Structure 1
Amino acid sequence: MSIGSFIKKQFLDVLQWNEETEGVLAWRHPMEDYEIQNGATLVVRESQIAVFVDEGRIADVFGPGTHRLTTNTLPVLTNLKNWDKLFASPFKSDVYFFSTRVQTGRKWGTTQPVTIRDKDFDMIRVRAFGMYSYRIADPRLFFKEISGTRAAYTRDEVEDQLRGLMLATMANSLGASNIAFLDMAANQTLMAQQIRGDLAAAFARYGVGLDEFNVTSVSLPEELQAALDQRISAGMKASLGADKMGNFTQFQVASSIPLAAQNEGGLAGIGAGAGAGIAIGQAMAQGMSGAFAPPQAPAAQAAPAAPAPGGESIEDRLAKLNGLLDKGLISQADYDGTKAELLKKLIG
């Protein structure tokens, strides 16, 4: 070594990382034109780990505290460099600092629908979003598998890799589950628990610890959601008994009265319309009841059919209108207005 090169080199007495830049997970101490003085001080702050690397090989690892660098505190590096126990010369080694702070409030989501296997629907495509927290749990693995010898490795860079890992793990985890997707979608805590175990194991392979994981929303693509809504609606209607079906039909008739009042002619035809609606509802209820009831012997003679509602007289309509008022299905104002129109037609 020339005298000029020796003078140019500087000796480090203190090695530390102040984490001046937010979002940096791994940082290499600048070592160009520097050598570490024998007996130098290494300062490792809380939520940090320092790792000595000699020619790409991981040597000694230091946790939080203040450490004096000697052959006693650097046993692996001493062995790699074949130092005598009382070496006094400065030495050169790469020193990496890793932040072990928990990275909280990180968002995850499916940019595209993920296809998973489901016990009810066979194959479905879903979207999901949520939050997670993680930290560097094993700096050795993180150095080997992710950060490597780069001067710095940021949170954004590692999360780009974690997102792909999360989506693949989520699809496999939900697909292998015996729990129906609809059950998990209704209980997002259950879904998060199902995914978290597999995801924690996947993160651990890269030296990353998963602290928290939750699902905040789950949705199907619009076309699948529409098909699911139709299926749910059909199931709800099929589950109605004869009595409930009749009540449901009456409710629909009552709900249509305000709309009918806005149409031309007002409620003049409400008697016939309501009578027809209720008659249809009763027929549907009887039909459904008969469809699920055991077969019975045919009646001796069918009863004569009731006259069609369209042939009712004005007197009959007035009577039905009065019945609707008594049941609270129309207001007094609607009753008075319709009654006046019917009486006008009756008197001529």
Structure 2
Amino acid sequence: MGLFDEIKNKLKYEFIDIVEWLDSTNDTIVHRFERYQNEIKNGAKLIVREGQMAVFINEGQLADVFKPGTYELTTQNLPVLATLKGWKYGFNSPFKAEVYFVSTRIFTDEKWGTKNPITLSDGRFGLVEIRAYGTYTFRITDPGKFIIDVVGTDGHFTNYEISEHLKSLIATRFTDTVGEANLPIELYAANTTELSETCQEVMMPEFERIGIGLEKFYIENVSMPEDLKKEIFEYSRLDKLDMSKLSQFKAAKAMEAAAKNEGGTAGAGMGMGMGFVLAQQMGQTLNPMNTQPITQPGTPAPPPIPVQIQYYYAVNGQQMGPVPFDKLKELFANRTINKDSLIWKQGMAAWTSLKDVEELKSFLGGNTPPPLPES
């Protein structure tokens, strides 16, 4: 081989490009392969690694998309580009095209959150406000659509450039989803897994419209104002407690505190006396079997204090009460309740209509005495 042939052979291999991208970052989604005047030599080698796809753009039009693998760029494996350029019989000279490498790996631990409180309507507490935040993961599933619709001519596109758009999309769809869920306010924080799955299903089509796949969506926390949280906790306790026992317990604590604040021997004696009385009342309340009053030896025991019956009643599906007999009669008189309203008192096996409770039938009127016996 002559010297001229050797130089010619070397120049031949110098003109063959290797088109590839080695990603040394953790945040790059799209990287444009740079070449002088965007010229790529005929027969150039294209290397697309795992976790990548290569997209060829010709004069703003999507040409060809390559999956992971090694390719020799000819008219055979550039069919769309060949059609756009009108290569009928192949080509032997450099051609112009923009090559974009798109990372298809999963981008994890992306943060989202509601910038402003979400206002919801709750049947018990009225209008309430909640906030939420969490994380999500995504990956590019349609590189061609993503470049055309989102990236454009950006030569180095990172996840930070798309994160604000995705956060706004998530916040909007999350607001719609929780508004339509119509759950009691305290259940949003207790059902974050189910709510996360529902939100992901709602958001996936929105992501797919721009070539992105929403892989995971997590709600880490749903928060509400502290005063509302305390009110909900108090409501849940009251719904489970016996109100008569609770009121007696609070009265005992208040009297005990008052006795401690009194100065001198008189205060101590009064506190001790009230302590005995309260101990007796609390003992009777907490231990119904022990109903014998505490008396001094030789002192006749007074008759037991009559216990006023307390009634619970239902209004619009909500439990109300307890109230004494007279108050219940007043509620009936002003039509807050009626003969079909559900009533319950201690000792009843189930809720019963007012008209079927024996001692409440007098509310209905029309009671007449039986006829006098014949003389």
Aligned residue number for residue 18 of structure 1: 22
Distance 1:108 1:260 in 2: 55
Q: Which amino acid aligns with 2:192?
A: Q
Distance 2:141 2:54 in 1: 13
Match of 1:66 among 61, 70, 76: 70
Q: Which amino acid aligns with 1:236?
A: R
Q: Say yes or no: does 1:288 pair with 2:302.
A: no
Q: CA RMSD in A?
A: 3.2
CA contact (8 A) 1:60 1:75 kept: yes
Any idea what the Cα deviations from partners look like across 1:251-274, whole Å, max 9, x if unmatched? 773698589658745854333434
Q: Say yes or no: does 1:154 pair with 2:158.
A: yes
Distance 1:176 1:164 in 2: 19
Any idea what the Cα deviations from partners look like across 1:176-226, whole Å, max 9, x if unmatched? 224444323212111111211111121111111111111111111x2xx42
Distance 1:29 1:98 in 2: 11
Aligned partner of residue 38 in structure 1, secondary structure: coil
Shift of 1:32: 3.2
Q: Say yes or no: does 1:171 pair with 2:193.
A: no
Change beyond 3 A, Cα 1:232–1:41: same
Aligned residue number for residue 230 of structure 2: 229
Shift of 1:248: 6.6
Q: After superposition, where does 1:38-49 map in structure 2 within 5 Å?
A: 38-49=42-53
Aligned residue number for residue 245 of structure 2: 246
Aligned partner of residue 160 in structure 1, secondary structure: helix
Aligned residue number for residue 269 of structure 1: 270
Q: Which amino acid aligns with 1:226?
A: D
Distance 2:113 2:259 in 1: 47
Number of corresponding residues: 282
Change beyond 3 A, Cα 1:286–1:200: farther
TM-score (normalizing by structure 2)? 0.66
Q: Say yes or no: does 1:28 pair with 2:32.
A: yes
Distance 2:125 2:82 in 1: 62
Distance 1:72 1:256 in 2: 95
Aligned residue number for residue 88 of structure 2: 84
Structure 1, unmatched stretches of 5+, are 1-9, 298-348
Match of 1:37 among 14, 38, 41: 41
CA contact (8 A) 1:44 1:64 kept: yes
Aligned partner of residue 64 in structure 2, secondary structure: strand
Q: After superposition, where does 1:187-266 map in structure 2 within 5 Å?
A: 187-220=191-224, 222=225, 225-227=226-228, 229-230=230-231, 232-234=233-235, 236-237=237-238, 239-241=240-242, 245-246=244-245, 249-250=248-249, 253=252, 264-265=263-264
Structure 2, unmatched stretches of 5+, are 1-13, 286-304, 312-323, 326-343, 346-356, 361-375
Aligned residue number for residue 183 of structure 1: 187
Q: After superposition, where does 1:101-180 map in structure 2 within 5 Å?
A: 101-116=105-120, 123-180=127-184
Change beyond 3 A, Cα 1:104–1:256: farther
Change beyond 3 A, Cα 1:118–1:246: closer
Q: Which amino acid aligns with 1:90?
A: P
Q: Which amino acid aligns with 1:271?
A: M
Distance 1:11 1:121 in 2: 75
Any idea what the Cα deviations from partners look like across 1:89-134, whole Å, max 9, x if unmatched? 1101000010011011122112221234667666532110111111
Aligned residue number for residue 333 of structure 1: none
Any idea what the Cα deviations from partners look like across 1:130-151, whole Å, max 9, x if unmatched? 1111111111221122111111
CA contact (8 A) 2:151 2:157 kept: yes
Match of 2:102 among 98, 102, 106: 98
CA contact (8 A) 1:100 1:135 kept: yes
Any idea what the Cα deviations from partners look like across 1:52-99, whole Å, max 9, x if unmatched? 000000010001111110101000000000013331111010000100
Distance 1:171 1:141 in 2: 27
Match of 1:52 among 52, 56, 79: 56
CA contact (8 A) 1:12 1:35 kept: no
TM-score (normalizing by structure 1)? 0.70
CA contact (8 A) 1:11 1:34 kept: no
Distance 1:238 1:286 in 2: 21
Distance 1:255 1:136 in 2: 65
Aligned partner of residue 43 in structure 2, secondary structure: strand
Q: Which has the higher helix share?
A: 1
Aligned identity (percent) is 32
Change beyond 3 A, Cα 1:94–1:234: closer
